[in-house]
Structure formats: C-alpha cells, structure tokens
Chain A
Amino acid sequence: AQSVTQLDSHVSVSEGTPVLLRCNYSSSYSPSLFWYVQHPNKGLQLLLKYTSAATLVKGINGFEAEFKKSETSFHLTKPSAHMSDAAEYFCVVSGGNYGGSQGNLIFGKGTKLSVKP
C-alpha cells in the first residue's frame, strides 16, 4: 500500500532564506510523486512531478525536489523564499491501483509555509 508523510505541519522562514519541506513516502512499487501548492481558499496547483526519469525535478516558481529511493524521501526545496510562497504545500503519491482506480492519488496532510519579511 502507498502512503505519504509530511514531517512538518508548519514551517516558518524569513524572506530570502532557503525553504525545505520534508516528505517521506511508502510504496510497494516505483511511485510517481507530486508536490502541489494551495493558497488560501484556492484550488491546488501542480508545482512539480517525479515519474521515474531524472531524480532531481525542477518545478515552477523556483522550486525543486529530489527523489531519494534509499531514503524514501521527496523533499521540496527553494533557494530563496519570497513572500508570495506563503501557502500550504501537499506531497502526493500516485496510488497505483489504490481504491480500484489507477488514477487515484494519496495526499499528505500538508505543510503550511509562512514567510516573514
């Protein structure tokens, strides 16, 4: 069975400092992994996805994530935080045949990122 754990429910950084949002996954097969961002009262926007190609994945808005199979991790990073990065971030794993559907995704509980001026 697949599962995903976001290790921090809340991360606070200062503007211009690096961002690290941590995610660990569990999967019985080689998974696809995603990071989504959600601004308050908005839908989710895809930041990046890993689908077994390059292990370092670059996304939108300067974010990137590295797939580490040995550590079962897929942490999200950004070199320099901007005020507009303040939002909630979700790590997501593809469910394989989760719930009888190949397309179903399994969501982490989210990490809220605060950016201080």
Chain B
Amino acid sequence: DGGITQSPKYLFRKEGQNVTLSCEQNLNHDAMYWYRQDPGQGLRLIYYSQIVNDFQKGDIAEGYSVSREKKESFPLTVTSAQKNPTAFYLCASSNQGDRVEQYFGPGTRLTVT
C-alpha cells in the first residue's frame, strides 16, 4: 500500500529536550511538508522540501529543524528553542508543481511537560 507513515503516534518529552518526529512516504513524491496544528488555527507550515538535499522555511520555522537526505524521508526535530512545542504535527507529500493536492500522514501528537 502506498502512503505516508508517521511515528510515533503519541510522544511525550520533558521541557528542554530535543525530539525527532519521523515521516516516511512511498508515493515517490518529490515534495514533502511539515505542518503544525493547534485547535482553531488550521494548519501552519513549518518546513517544506521540493527535492532531496534542499528544504525551505515555512511560516513558523523557529525552533524546528529538518533534513532531507532521502527522497522518502523528511524527519522533523523539535528543539528546546521552540517555546510552545505541544501540538499535533502532520507530514504531507505531493508531486511537484502548482495546483497539486497533498497527501497527509496520520500525525504525531507531541506533549512536552
């Protein structure tokens, strides 16, 4: 089955620790995206990557980092510099170009205490 996997589904961390969220896709998509979702705010773009070894900041990149060493993988690290990291994180992928839909993974709910 083709799709996007995110792991783990739930993640708990102590304040001050970095944490890495996994995102893998087998859809052969060039582009991948990370979003943050908070209640009543829709989805906000953190980082995106149009091609391997290249990525760009989205609207709320501060306190986050990514890498894109393989086409199928786009891990997100939430660093201790992120002031309010507790949220639902969604990964997506798409073909390149304008007017294309994105396909979403099931999400990871991160709780930092």
Report chain A residues within 8 Å CB of B99: 32, 51, 94
* In the complex with contacts A41-B109, A42-B106, A42-B107, A103-B40 CB distance below 8 A: no
* In the complex with contacts A9-B40, A94-B98, A109-B42, A45-B104 CB distance below 8 A: yes
Chain B 24-50 interface 0/1 with A at a Cβ cutoff of 8 Å (1 = within): 000000010100000011110100101
**Interface stretch of the complex, out of B11-19, B63-71, B73-81, B89-97:** B89-97
Report chain B residues within 8 Å CB of A94: 98-100
Q: CA separation between A45 and B103, bound complex, in Å?
A: 7
Report chain B residues within 8 Å CB of A104: 33, 45, 48, 58
Report chain A residues within 8 Å CB of B104: 36, 43-45
Q: CA separation between A41 and B9, bound complex, in Å?
A: 9
Q: CA separation between A36 and B94, bound complex, in Å?
A: 15
In the bound complex, do residue A107 and residue B59 qualify as a contact, i.e. CB atoms below 8 Å apart?
A: no
Residue A78 at the chain B interface, CB threshold 8 Å: no
Residue B62 at the chain A interface, CB threshold 8 Å: no
Number of B residues near A (Cβ < 8 Å) is 31
Report chain A residues within 8 Å CB of B105: 43
- Residue with the greatest number of chain B CB neighbours at <10 A, chosen from A42, A101, A109: A101
Q: CA separation between A104 and B42, bound complex, in Å?
A: 15
In the bound complex, do residue B56 and residue A100 qualify as a contact, i.e. CB atoms below 8 Å apart?
A: yes
- Can you give 17 A-B contacts (C-beta < 8 A)? A9-B40, A34-B101, A43-B105, A43-B107, A44-B90, A44-B92, A49-B101, A90-B42, A94-B98, A99-B48, A101-B31, A101-B48, A102-B98, A103-B31, A103-B97, A107-B43, A110-B40
- B residues near A, CB below 8 A? 4, 6, 31, 33, 40-43, 45, 48, 50, 56, 58-59, 88, 90, 92, 94, 96-107, 109
- A residues near B, CB below 8 A? 9, 32, 34, 36, 41-46, 49, 51, 90, 94, 96-97, 99-105, 107-110
